[in-house]
């Protein structure tokens, strides 16, 4: 199935056989392949740490990142690596038995998706560096108890498209950071997948955030919210997760409440279903400029307060980020 065969807008499920390049052949396909940016990552929610990981193929660069922030000490452990394509795989099928893997010297990260078993797995083995302690472990994502999926296929402008898939998974297992071990409880902790297969404009900019929580009744509730330039009438990726469903959200505004890099943000939708204040605890960033290619990016990790779909949000862990890129 090609990206052009997919309906535009919101889809009920991630499609099988996703082919982001469509039917292009020859030089046109080579150019479209170079313009395609693909990544699969997870954000981790645990009361004692913040964590996030990504395996990405920007065509001019194949890379992976993994960071963990330990709340008790305030220590931030950041790892990043580049590799060749022989040690890299980002499958089209993904949830239908696919495996994402990245291997470089001292840095191994892999995702195994298994629909038959009803669970997915994350395995990480990253060595100590002069700047960060080692991270290792295995996490299991409960696919049967996951939230409803957010799946959006949208136009971003002339020759630019965005396919994204996001879902909240209860997570179990353990991560070790140096000599310390953190156990994940599926009744409390989550991993949120972020999959993109996008042909972005040469100049792109967006602001994004997400969080997830359990209600008193044990249901999964959360939000994914973004602001980016899109043609009028195109579907946005913003949503709220409510028990058993995912609902579209639009007209989300991000308002910094100060000029400090760690100042709080107010994030709200025009319809009032999302109204939260995000207070960062830390920040990580990337600033690169290589003539025609440039990235100015930061991600904040912290806590959310407010309401989502009428549910209270109090001290809920989450992230927010801003990207400005030329690539």
Convert 222-288 into a string of H (helix), E (strand) and C (coil): EEEEEEECCCCCCCCCCEEEECCEEEECCCEEEEECCCCCCCCEEEEECCCCEEEEEEEEEEEEEEE
Strands (E), 291-327: 293-308, 311-326
Answer with the residue of higher pLDDT: 320 or 84: 320
Residue 290, pLDDT > 80, answer no
The two tokens of residue 176 are: 């070790």
pLDDT tens digits for range 162-195 = 999 999 999 999 999 999 999 999 999 999 999 9
pTM (two decimals) = 0.94
So what's the pLDDT on residue 35? Answer: 74
| C-alpha distance from residue 112 to each of 14, 53, 101, 168, 286 (Å) | 16, 14, 8, 16, 28
pLDDT at 202: 78
Q: What is the pLDDT, as a whole number, of residue 23?
A: 54
Mean pLDDT of 56-73: 91
Q: What is the pLDDT of residue 20?
A: 67
**Total number of residues shown for the chain:** 327
Phi (first) and psi of residue 250, to 5 degrees: -145, 170
Assign 1 a pLDDT band (cuts: 50, 70, 90): very low
What is the mean predicted confidence (pLDDT) over 141-165?
92
pLDDT category of residue 248 using cuts at 50, 70 and 90: very high
Which domains are assigned to the chain? 37-326 (2.40.370.10)
Mean pLDDT of the chain: 91
């Amino acid at each position: 199935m090609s990206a052009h065969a997919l309906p535009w807008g919101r889809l009920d499920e991630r499609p099988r056989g996703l082919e982001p390049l469509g039917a292009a052949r020859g030089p046109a396909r080579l150019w479209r392949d170079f313009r395609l940016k693909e990544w699969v990552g997870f954000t981790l929610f645990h009361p004692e740490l913040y964590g996030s990981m990504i395996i990405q193929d920007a065509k001019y660069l194949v890379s992976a990142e993994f960071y963990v922030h330990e709340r008790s000490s305030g220590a931030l452990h950041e790892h990043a690596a580049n590799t060749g394509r022989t040690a890299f795989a980002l499958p089209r099928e993904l949830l239908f038995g696919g495996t994402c893997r990245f291997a470089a010297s001292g840095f191994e990260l892999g995702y195994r998706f298994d629909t038959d078993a009803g669970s997915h797995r994350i395995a990480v083995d990253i060595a100590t560096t002069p700047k960060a302690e080692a991270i290792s472990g295995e996490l299991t994502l409960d696919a049967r108890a996951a939230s409803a999926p957010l799946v959006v296929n949208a136009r971003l402008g002339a020759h630019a498209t965005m396919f994204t898939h996001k879902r909240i998974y209860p997570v179990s297992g353990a991560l070790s950071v140096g000599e310390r071990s953190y156990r994940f409880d599926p009744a409390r902790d989550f991993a949120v997948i972020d999959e993109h297969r996008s042909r972005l404009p040469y100049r792109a900019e967006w602001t994004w955030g997400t969080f997830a929580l359990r209600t008193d009744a044990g249901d999964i509730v959360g939000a994914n919210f973004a602001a980016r330039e899109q043609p009028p009438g195109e579907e946005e990726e913003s949503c709220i997760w409510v028990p058993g469903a995912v609902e579209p959200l639009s007209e989300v505004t991000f308002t910094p409440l100060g000029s400090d890099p760690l100042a709080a943000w107010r994030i709200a939708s025009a319809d009032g279903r999302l109204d939260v204040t995000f207070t960062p605890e830390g920040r990580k960033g990337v600033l690169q400029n290589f003539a025609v290619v440039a990235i100015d990016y930061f991600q904040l990790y912290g806590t959310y307060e407010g309401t989502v779909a009428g549910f209270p949000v109090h001290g809920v862990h989450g992230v927010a980020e801003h990207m400005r890129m030329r690539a």
